[in-house]
Amino acid sequence: MILVNTDYITGKELETLGIVKGSTIQAKHMGKDIMAGFKTMVGGELTSYTEMMNEARALGTKRMVD
């Protein structure tokens, strides 16, 4: 399977499947959860959770392609 975000690839016939998405559930280390709890008190991005979300999204996409 080729995963693209364009309307065409020269020399290839494409089938549009529409919008697809995949999800995975992951857990962070308890210490990072505690630090994230403190971070929510003062506001701002929870970078460890942003990283985890990006990793989970990439894993979900990889599973769909494989």
Encoded tokens for 38:
């403190």
In the chain, where are the structural domains located? Answer: 1-66
The model's pLDDT over 30-66, given as tens digits with 9 standing for 90+, comes to 777 777 777 777 777 777 788 888 888 888 888 887 7
Residues 6+ apart with CB under 8 A from 33: none
* Global model pTM greater than 0.85: no
Residue 5 pLDDT grade (very low, low, confident, very high; cuts 50, 70, 90): confident
User: Over 80: is that where the pLDDT of 11 sits?
Assistant: yes
Residues 6+ apart with CB under 8 A from 14: 4, 7, 8
The model's pLDDT over 21-40, given as tens digits with 9 standing for 90+, comes to 766 777 777 777 777 777 77
